[in-house]
Amino acid sequence: MSKGGKMPRLNSQEDLVRLREEILAKRDPKRPCVFVCNGTACIASGGLEVLKAFQEEIERQGINALVDTKGPGCSGFCERGPVVVIYPEEICYVKVRPEDVPEIVKETLIGKKVIERLLYQEPLTGEKEIHESDISFYKHQTRVLMGVKLDPRSIEDYIAIGGYSALSKALFQMTPEQVLEEVKKSNLRGRGGAGFPTGRKWETAKKAPGDIKYVIVNGDEGDPGAYMDRALLERNPHSVLEGLAIGAYAVGASEGFVYVRQEYPLALKHVLMAIEQAESYGLLGENILGTKFNFKVKVHQGAGAFVSGESSALMTAIEGKVGEPRPKYIRTSVKGIWGRPSVLNNVETWANVPLIINKGADWFRGYGTEKSSGTKIFSLVGKINNTGLVEVPMGVTLRDIIFKIGGGIRNGKRFKAVQTGGPSGGCLPEDMLDLKVDFDELTKAGSMMGSGGMIVMDEDTCMVDVARYFVDFLTEESCGKCVPCREGLRQMHKILTDITKGKASENALELLEDLAEVLTGASLCALGKSAANPFLSTLKYFREEYEAHIKGKRCPALVCKDLISYYIDPEKCQACMTCLRKCPAKAIDGGKNLIHIIDQDKCTKCGTCFEVCPSKFRAVRKISGEPVPERLPEEKRKIVRERKAQ
């Protein structure tokens, strides 16, 4: 019906129930269906081509009357994309290429046999898993939002799983006040950063004077390494719209906005498509489901500035002005867009609302901790085996997320730190791995939940460089409107850069701490107020690294270019010419049987020699805080040639 066919307008609660029954009656749950993940990450690794290959091959083999194909949104396991799951058996294949498709159709769809080589192999045990739910990455998650299987382009798929029944329940069985009470009782806290109680925000807007009120979805999500909200909008846009409509009903709004950044074209496309479909069915627009409730949704495309995700900046952008923050003497829930009460919530916050209304506040509180209920989606990235989107109940430990779900650190390296909370979050060390992840515990530890970015770092990471990187990002993204943030960040970035170059003064840390105090206390918005976190948390847990850089002119993790040198160990060099040929700066001197030497004046420290030196030799070393050993005299360099010549 959503693919060009006319949609019947639903004029009552019964109409929706009937439509759902009709949709379900036409579907056979045992009918085979091939789900090819078509989230942005899987598309980038060929998901669209794999889906097309299935459709063509199924037709070629004449089984198209027996098998369905679907291109759902992100399944979370982006590292192994394109991911293909075959139902009803739930056979999961990873890293599937179009060339694999004829074999899958013949062997698995027709022959009911599993193809070993396409199965996921557990990094720690080496075991191969057949079913999606047995894979450790999924097994330890609670996928309330991420586990829903549907085609995001089909409103019928959403209705089939009970979609829009929460809106219907709210409109026909609950007063706006009861909806508000249920959300308050659920203890849902905003998933966009601060963890502000959603019900309280709604109540403020509801009580605020004025007939015109707005509800808004914050889909800006500009944090480096985070893509939960983009994925939710791509994979289930109707759940966000349904939540938004319920919120509008509760607070008395008849207009809403979805703010999506332009760099998220698929999310934008799916949201626009979903709005059109919902309007056609009468689930958005005038007299929703035949009631007196009117609610229209507009989409605002963000121009891609991190600061525009801040509430007042985002609302200013919707008004058509530059998306910069303004002082919030009066909350935006009282005076927001065009001075009217406006409720802004994060994508994930809105997506939880239909579940709370349908299943009840007690069900929601059954997940998570006392003060942070429900689940939370994290984007687990960095030096970890299984990167992707992970949904867990609040209160799960960092260790469980990183090791049980994430499969541990890549290449057998040691865990060093995890950065949570986006660019202004903090880095937590190994001895905090048993910290229970919720809003308050993370804040107490000097980091924060933010919107759910989680970047895992291994032993080869320099924590000073990490702080410099995030401060660099924030310096670029500061709107420059207030002096403490604009100038404070610039100075902080300069001092951190000096430290990584070994040029910082002895009192650099005191200067940075002073700056941190000013930034935190005097900045206009939370970008500046929290901008010192990357520095403060790394200083708290990794002070010795700062001191090594400042006092010893040494980078213990061997990362900071100005403090390291590459050196070829003459005892180990086999004069194989590999590094010499690959060095882009032509800084390596040597010959076929002549031990190689790096000319330190020409070396750009790009690290190519280190990477290409065969692992059986490991002759190239990185050193820091010590002088490069004297150049080997010419006659000694020839020893290898003589030895080889014998």
Ligand X SMILES: Cc1cc2nc3c(=O)[nH]c(=O)nc-3n(C[C@H](O)[C@H](O)[C@H](O)COP(=O)(O)O)c2cc1C
C-alpha 135/C-alpha 537 separation (Å) is: 34
- Whether the upstream peptide bond of residue 88 has omega within 30° of 0, thus cis, is yes
**Helix (H), strand (E), coil (C) string for 577-610:** CHHHHHCCCCCEEEECCEEEEECCCCCCCCCHHH
Instruction: Compute the least distance from the CB of residue 433 to ligand X, in Å.
Output: 26
Strand 375-382, strand 388-393: pairing: antiparallel
Q: Site mask, ligand X, residues 586-615, x = CB under 6 A?
A: ------------------------------
Instruction: Compute the least distance from the CB of residue 285 to ligand X, in Å.
Output: 25
* Residues between 313 and 352 that touch ligand X (CB under 6 A): 344-346, 349
Nearest C-alpha neighbor of 275 from the set 20, 2, 13, 48: 2
Dig out the tokens for 193 from the structure: 């950063």
Q: Which is nearer to ligand X, 220 or 242 (CB)?
A: 220
C-alpha 576/C-alpha 594 separation (Å) is: 9
DSSP class of residue 335?
S
Q: Which is nearer to ligand X, 41 or 527 (CB)?
A: 527
Q: Which is nearer to ligand X, 452 or 590 (CB)?
A: 452
Stretch that binds ligand X, among 75-83, 213-221, 427-435, 630-638 (CB under 6 A): 213-221
Stretch that binds ligand X, among 64-72, 185-193, 404-412, 501-509 (CB under 6 A): 185-193
Q: Which is nearer to ligand X, 485 or 504 (CB)?
A: 485
Stretch that binds ligand X, among 43-51, 72-80, 142-150, 305-313 (CB under 6 A): 305-313
* Residues between 554 and 573 that touch ligand X (CB under 6 A): none
Instruction: Compute the least distance from the CB of residue 526 to ligand X, in Å.
Output: 3
Q: Is 221 in the site for ligand X (CB under 6 A)?
A: yes
Stretch that binds ligand X, among 147-155, 204-212, 219-227, 498-506 (CB under 6 A): 219-227
Task: Give Cβ neighbours of residue 165 (< 8 Å, ≥ 6 apart).
Answer: 16, 17, 20, 358
Q: Site mask, ligand X, residues 103-122, x = CB under 6 A?
A: --------------------
Task: Give Cβ neighbours of residue 588 (< 8 Å, ≥ 6 apart).
Answer: 568, 579, 580, 596, 597, 598, 599, 609
Total of chain residues touching ligand X, rule CB under 6 A = 23
Beta carbons of 389 and 227 less than 8 angstroms apart:
yes
Applying CB under 6 A, which of residues 157, 255, 310, 458 lies at the interface with ligand X?
310
Query: In the complex, which residue's CB is closest to ligand X?
Result: 190
Q: Is 500 in the site for ligand X (CB under 6 A)?
A: no
Q: Is 418 in the site for ligand X (CB under 6 A)?
A: no
C-alpha 199/C-alpha 188 separation (Å) is: 7
Instruction: Compute the least distance from the CB of residue 223 to ligand X, in Å.
Output: 7
Nearest C-alpha neighbor of 256 from the set 296, 196, 209, 291: 296
C-alpha 437/C-alpha 449 separation (Å) is: 8
* Residues between 504 and 543 that touch ligand X (CB under 6 A): 525-527
Instruction: Compute the least distance from the CB of residue 345 to ligand X, in Å.
Output: 4
Applying CB under 6 A, which of residues 218, 375, 386, 523 lies at the interface with ligand X?
218
C-alpha 631/C-alpha 618 separation (Å) is: 19
Nearest C-alpha neighbor of 464 from the set 398, 529, 553, 565: 553
Distance of alpha carbon 559 from the chain centroid? 25
Q: Which is nearer to ligand X, 504 or 519 (CB)?
A: 519
Stretch that binds ligand X, among 119-127, 168-176, 190-198, 622-630 (CB under 6 A): 190-198
Nearest C-alpha neighbor of 194 from the set 27, 443, 552: 443
Applying CB under 6 A, which of residues 57, 220, 234, 255 lies at the interface with ligand X?
220
Q: Which residues bind ligand X (CB under 6 A)?
A: 190-194, 196, 218, 220-222, 306-307, 309-311, 344-346, 349, 451, 525-527
